[in-house]
Amino acid sequence: MTTTIVLDGKVAIVTGSGNGIGRATAKALAQAGAKVCVSDTIAADGQRTVSEITDAGGSAIFVEADISNEDQVKAVVAATISAFGGLDILINNAGIGGAQKRLHEVEAAEFSRVLDVNLLGTFFMTKHAIPHFLKAGGGSIVSIASSYGLIGAPKAPAYCATKGGIINLTRQLAVDYGPDNIRVNAICPGYIDTSLGRRGPTLTEAQFNEATARREKAARMQPLGRQAQPIEVGNVAVFLSSPNASFMTGSIVSVDGGCVTTFNYGEASN
């Protein structure tokens, strides 16, 4: 029985890996022995992830890309194949939160941008990775959805819709590609301590602190009573990518501190 995750010789792409869950996942994959293509829209952040991997003795490259652009997606895959000679693992992590508004207040362009990055980007990355998995005789895809793809959430119509779409796309892909030994799973994080959840650099310091306090209060209403650190999601992504999860496909794995298991009474217990 395999008890240790070993990914020696495997090649992975992790989108949105300049920060947060993607960065933690890329580093954890490299620690397990995988060669990693780090991709992000912010070059400085992506290069930092690569440096941290290589400084620790791992192997990584960086490719700047916006996954809503199919040509840039093709370039990410091509660079990975050129650098490492194959592809075994795809982590669809890149995503954006979108405007915090009720649906009738959302402009079409705002909704479309979230759709383009979160759902169309996942489609593009998966579409161009799968031929390499077919050639190799198998592979693993892990998409980062959200607990907001399972439940409704205030003022997040585009985000909820796209993350729900990723969840059912995961199930559909598992049906089509299971016979090809391509496993497809999704993770639904809850409150994770990342800049995306707090709208990061778009906020003033006061707004950032206020948003952080709101998330921490909401997280205290969960059974585990806190936000997670990105590596707590990254570790699950690495497991799902590995032979340890060899009989898992079409699985939607909640990593949310119990968020979707209980009714929110509207006040924190502590």
Which amino acid belongs to residue 52? E
**Residue 184 has which token pair?**
């497809």
* 19 vs 237: CA distance, rounded Å: 15
Please give the helix or strand (H or E) that residue 182 lies within, else none.
strand 182-189
* 32 vs 10: CA distance, rounded Å: 10
Beta bridge partners of 12: 36, 89
Would you call 250 exposed, middle or buried from its count of C-beta atoms within 10 A (0-12, 13-18, 19+)? middle
Q: Is 148 a catalytic residue?
A: no
CB 106 within 8 A of CB 112: no
User: What is the Cα gyration radius of the chain?
Assistant: 18
The DSSP output letter for 229 is P
Longest dimension (CA), the chain: 54
Instruction: Work out the angle at residue 203's Cα, subtended by the Cα atoms of residues 198 and 209, and round it to the nearest 5 degrees.
Output: 60
Name the catalytic one among 159, 177, 191, 265: 159
* 150 vs 197: CA distance, rounded Å: 17
Residues serving a catalytic function are: 159
